[in-house]
């Protein structure tokens, strides 16, 4: 499904819940963000202040390895003591040492697979277009649920035209056999 870039905010709730993204597995978080998502290394270092891999806070993006089924959560700085404690490499990070991510044996790099990416707060409007350009995936069931959450006008407006064809009418996008029966539906920003 080609998605109209101007309608990216409609995907924010899905990005907060988590979307599947196809990536090369076995690399670290820094490599994923800078090489696969083409983010500037300074942005990754300075803007992404809080990250979780499989529910564990990550201090070192070079040590945390992404594997099949990983759940990567990205956030800007969080407020208060909790935020200071969860911030990567923060002064209070030692308070959470027992729950922090610890290095795992490196898995074979290069194989493609799926991870779940979740994005929160100030990073949402900044990273949503990047992840959407890379391509996000929904199960047929999850896409059907997401689609039903949208207002009818949004359903009509968010699907971009492909080439010279007009956007698909809403009647074609209802939960039909194609969508409900699909294993995965890829959503990507229109070009």
The predicted-structure confidence for 101-121, as pLDDT tens digits, reads as follows: 446 655 556 799 999 999 999
Share of the chain above pLDDT 70, in %: 70
| Three-class SS of the chain | CEECHHHHHHHHHHHHHCEEEEEECCCEHHHHHHHHCCCCHHHHHHCCCEEEECCEECCCCCCCECCCCCEEEEECCCCHHHHHHHCCCCCCHHHHHHHCCCCCCCCCCCCEEEEEEEECCCHHHHHHHHHHHHCEEEEHHHHHHHHHHCCHHHHHHHECCCCCCCCCCHHHHCCCHHHHCCCEEEEEECC
What's the pLDDT at 99? 45
Question: Band of the pLDDT at 158, cuts 50, 70, 90?
Answer: confident
**Average pLDDT, stretch 67-72?**
94
Q: Which residues contact 20 (CB under 8 A, 6 or more apart)?
A: 114, 115, 116, 117, 136, 137, 138, 139, 184
Q: Which residues contact 12 (CB under 8 A, 6 or more apart)?
A: 124, 125, 128
Closest CA to 25 of 9, 12, 36, 13: 36
What's the pLDDT at 179? 60
What's the pLDDT at 180? 56
For residue 32, give its domain range. Answer: 2-189
For residue 91, pLDDT over 70 is answered with no
Q: Say which residue the tokens 């979307």 belong to.
A: 19
18, 71 contact by CB (below 8 A): yes
For residue 170, pLDDT over 60 is answered with no
The total number of structural domains in the chain stands at: 1
Q: Which pTM value belongs to this model?
A: 0.79
């Amino acid at each position: 499904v080609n998605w109209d870039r101007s309608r990216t905010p409609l995907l924010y709730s899905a990005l907060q819940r988590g979307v599947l993204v196809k990536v090369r597995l076995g690399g670290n978080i820094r490599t994923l963000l800078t090489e696969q998502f083409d983010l500037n290394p300074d942005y990754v270092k300075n803007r992404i202040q809080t990250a979780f891999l499989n529910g564990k806070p990550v201090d070192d993006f070079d040590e945390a390895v992404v594997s099949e089924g990983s759940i990567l959560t990205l956030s800007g700085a969080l407020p208060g003591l909790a935020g200071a404690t969860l911030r990567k490499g923060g002064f209070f990070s030692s308070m959470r040492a027992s729950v922090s991510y610890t290095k795992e044996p490196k898995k074979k790099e290069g194989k493609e697979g799926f991870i779940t990416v979740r994005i929160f707060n100030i990073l949402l409007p900044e990273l949503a277009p990047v992840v959407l350009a890379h391509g996000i995936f929904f199960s047929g069931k999850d896409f059907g649920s997401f689609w039903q959450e949208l207002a009818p006008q949004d359903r009509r407006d968010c699907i971009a035209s492909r080439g010279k064809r007009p956007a698909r009418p809403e009647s074609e996008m209802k939960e039909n056999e194609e969508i409900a029966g699909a294993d995965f539906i890829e959503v990507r920003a229109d070009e």
